[in-house]
Every structure is written in structure tokens, then in C-alpha cells.
């Protein structure tokens, strides 16, 4: 959930608020697709970005590379401070007026559907589908779409994509995507269809991903996949940026490199100065051991000494993340508690509200590294009043 709520959020969360105890409904997402006048074949060239981490960075890079001489519509998930960040044109979040129009499109389409029976329309899926409909109305030249929560199980699987970019895949959201790396791989990479002509992947993937892409998985349907282009750069962030740039090149026909300094990427080891303070705060949405280690390395280089605020819900590998954080002073925080549990983290110490922890941190005058989910990052960025609505 975002820090800033808007009355126009209502249609997107309506069914989730009342039926989330059931499950997501594939039938209703298909009905919504038809109500919006969308079909599997998109009229505009599109890139899909899937993976467990780094998707937002790759999505921003692909958008930037394509936007050099074109208009690019982007759909990302989740947002940080406001849900209008989910829908962007040339890297900039749609305005409040445009968001009201998007909400109207969602409301008008949903009210034509039959009553809820087998499950709900997920918020991320409604944003994806209405976002596509809205961006096509705006006449964008390209679409860059980040999966919301999963691949085959997400609304992104209702469409074909000529290019699929794959960031690192690991155990995450096992309660939704499956309780094994094989299941998660099947879900995420099930978005690759015969219409996919280019695959760009992070070089460091579990064996399950390579088996899938090589067609060695016996559960796979007969599908000849294109040879993936593997991407490795100097850092985790640079690799994800390169995935986006390489994916964009498959549509443009020309490679445009995207450097880390070219984009404004909040919650990707971004640094901020709180009002009336000389301290530096770094915010990073690293949520697995490698991501947190990357954030710690960056913070050590840029902040020197610092205190950590860490938000690690039960759906993450809490023990492994805490092992990486062990040498550092840490305060545990929690955000999004209406849909995330912090029971495991609470066994290691008190879990404070983000707002309370930030107030204490501000009063201390110390440099701060905040790591955790996008909900945690968004709550911290809201308190810092950091801009999140543009990428360049």
C-alpha cells in the first residue's frame, strides 16, 4: 500500500478489500480484458519485465532508452508514494487529473462484469489492464510493462510480448507463485509465448530458469524459445539497467546505454537529506540477502557510519537477511501491516511503525540506511517528502 491514499484508488481495490480472503480470479481478469476492448495481441510494440528483484530498475531503463525519440507508456508495480506512479508516460507519473480518468475507466469497466463468485480482481491486474487501455488511448509508440505479482498468475499473461526481460529469480511470494523455485519459474516465464522473439536475462539465475529456457523441463509445452541474451555488468543495479537497455534495443533496432547517473530511481540506494538535518539517509528496496548486502556496501561507501531501519515481512527470507545485517545496529520496522505479517521479525526484537522509527532516527541525527519492501521504502520516502514521480 502507498503512503498517500486517493479517493480515485477505490475501483482498483474494491474487490480486493471485500474478497481478498478468497483468491485472484482468472475468469474475472479475462472478463475485464474484454470489457476494456483489449485482446491478446497489443497494437503497440511491448516489453514485459519479470523477475523477483530489479524489475523496476530494468523497466525504467527500457523506458528511458525507448523514449529518446518516441513516446513510451510504462506500467510499474508497486508504487512508492502514490498509485499514479504505476502509470507513466516518458518516465513521468500521470497527473492527478489523468489518474482520475484512469479510475473512471476502471470503474466503468468493472461495473459491467457479473457478480464476484470465484475470486476477485487483483489491484495490480486492474492497474495493468486499465493502464494499457489508457496508454493506448494516448497513442504511445511503445509499452514497457512490469509484472504485478507473478507471470501466468498475473494479468500480464493475458497479452503477448515480442520481448521479455528477466531479472534475477529466487524464492519469493511462495504462498502465491508456488513453494519451489521450479513453480516460481514456471509462473514467471510462462509469459513467454510463440509471439516472443527476444529474451534478455540476468546472467545469474537458478538452474530451474536455465532448464526452462533450454526446453529441458519435462512439464513444458512444446515451445521453441529464442536464445536468451545474457546480461552481466559491474554491479547489481548496472546489470538491471543493462537488461532494460538491451530489451529496448530489440524493439528500437539500436542499443542506447543507460547509466545509473541518468535516472532518478528512488529506493534504489537513493540518498536524501531530511529537512533541517545534516544527516544523510539512503533508501533501498533490497529484500533478499544479496540486495541488502549491495545496499550495505553502497551505504558504507557513501554514508560511512550509519544506523539501519529494516522492514522484513514473513514472505521474505528473514533469517538470511538478518544474517547479512548482523554486524550493524538495526531497528526493525513494519509497513503494509494490513496485508504483510512481521511475526518472524518480531521474534528477534520489537517491530516499530515506520513513522515512529523515522522520528527516533531523525532525532538521533545519525546517517540512516532504510531497507525493506517497497511499502517500507515508500513510507520512508513519504516522511522525507522525496520526489518519486519522475525518472529523469
**Whole-angstrom distance, CA of residue 183 vs CA of residue 100:** 37
pLDDT of 164: 99
pLDDT in tens, 286-335: 999 999 999 999 999 999 999 999 999 998 999 999 999 999 999 999 99
pLDDT of 339: 82
* Residue 318, C-alpha cell as written in the block: 528473514
pLDDT of 175: 65
* Residue 167, C-alpha cell as written in the block: 531479472
What DSSP designation does 282 have? E
**Whole-angstrom distance, CA of residue 323 vs CA of residue 316:** 13
Q: Report helix, strand and coil shares of the chain as percent, to nearest 5.
A: 40, 15, 45
Domain 7-262, architecture per CATH? 3-Layer(aba) Sandwich (3.40)
Q: What are 330's strand-pairing partners?
A: 308
pLDDT of 222: 64
Burial environment of residue 32 by CB neighbours within 10 A (0 to 12, 13 to 18, 19 or more)? buried
Q: Which regions of the chain are under pLDDT 70?
A: 1-3, 173-176, 178, 217-223
Fold of 268-384: 3.90.190
Asked if 206 and 185 count as a contact pair (C-beta separation under 8 A), the reply is yes
**With a threshold of 0.75, does the pTM exceed it?**
yes
What SS3 class is residue 159?
coil
Asked if 255 and 227 count as a contact pair (C-beta separation under 8 A), the reply is no
pLDDT of 337: 82
Q: Do domains 7-262 and 268-384 have the same CATH topology?
A: no
**Whole-angstrom distance, CA of residue 2 vs CA of residue 340:** 13
Sign of CA dihedral 99, 101, 105, 110: positive
pLDDT of 217: 67
* Residue 22, C-alpha cell as written in the block: 478468497
pLDDT of 1: 61
Residue owning grid cell 513516446: 71
| Annotated domain spans of the chain | 7-262, 268-384
Amino acid at each position: 500500500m502507498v503512503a498517500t491514499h486517493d479517493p480515485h484508488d477505490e475501483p482498483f481495490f474494491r474487490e480486493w478489500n471485500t474478497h481478498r480472503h478468497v483468491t485472484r480470479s482468472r475468469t474475472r481478469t479475462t472478463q475485464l480484458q474484454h470489457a476494456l476492448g483489449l485482446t491478446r495481441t497489443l497494437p503497440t510494440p511491448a516489453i514485459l519485465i519479470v523477475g523477483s528483484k530489479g524489475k523496476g530498475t530494468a523497466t525504467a531503463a527500457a523506458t528511458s532508452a525507448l523514449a529518446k525519440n518516441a513516446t513510451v507508456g510504462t506500467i510499474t508495480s508497486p508504487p512508492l508514494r502514490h498509485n499514479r506512479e504505476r502509470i507513466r508516460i516518458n518516465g513521468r507519473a500521470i497527473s492527478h487529473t489523468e489518474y482520475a480518468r484512469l479510475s473512471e475507466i476502471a470503474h466503468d469497466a468493472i461495473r459491467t462484469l457479473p457478480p464476484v463468485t470465484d475470486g476477485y480482481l487483483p489491484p495490480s491486474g486492474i492497474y495493468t489492464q486499465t493502464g494499457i487501455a489508457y496508454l493506448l488511448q494516448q497513442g504511445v509508440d511503445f509499452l514497457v510493462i512490469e509484472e504485478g505479482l507473478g507471470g501466468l498468475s498475473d494479468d500480464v499473461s493475458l497479452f503477448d510480448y515480442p520481448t521479455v526481460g528477466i531479472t534475477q529469480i529466487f524464492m519469493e511470494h511462495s504462498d502465491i507463485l508456488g513453494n519451489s523455485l521450479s513453480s516460481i519459474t514456471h509462473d514467471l516465464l510462462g509469459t513467454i509465448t510463440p509471439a516472443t522473439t527476444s529474451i534478455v536475462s540476468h546472467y545469474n539465475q537458478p538452474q530451474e530458469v536455465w532448464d526452462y529456457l533450454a526446453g529441458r523441463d519435462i512439464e513444458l509445452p512444446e515451445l521453441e524459445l529464442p536464445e536468451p541474451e545474457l546480461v552481466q555488468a559491474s554491479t547489481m543495479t548496472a546489470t538491471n539497467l543493462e537488461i532494460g537497455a538491451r530489451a529496448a534495443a530489440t524493439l528500437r533496432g539500436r542499443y542506447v546505454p543507460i547509466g545509473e547517473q541518468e535516472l532518478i530511481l528512488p529506493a534504489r540506494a537513493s540518498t536524501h537529506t531530511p529537512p533541517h538535518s545534516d544527516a544523510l539517509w539512503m533508501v533501498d528496496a533490497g529484500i533478499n540477502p544479496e540486495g541488502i548486502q549491495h545496499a550495505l556496501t553502497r551505504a558504507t561507501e557513501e554514508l560511512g557510519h550509519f544506523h539501519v531501519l529494516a522492514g522484513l515481512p514473513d514472505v521474505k527470507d528473514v533469517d538470511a537477511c538478518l544474517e547479512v545485517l548482523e554486524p550493524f545496529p538495526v531497528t526493525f520496522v513494519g509497513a503494509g501491516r494490513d496485508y504483510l505479517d512481521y511475526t518472524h521479525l518480531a521474534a528477534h526484537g520489537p517491530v516499530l511503525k515506520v513513522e515512529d522509527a523515522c522520528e527516533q532516527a531523525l532525532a538521533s541525527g545519525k546517517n540512516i540506511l532504510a531497507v525493506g519492501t517497497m511499502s517500507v521504502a515508500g513510507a520512508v520516502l513519504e516522511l522525507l517528502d522525496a520526489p518519486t514521480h519522475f525518472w529523469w
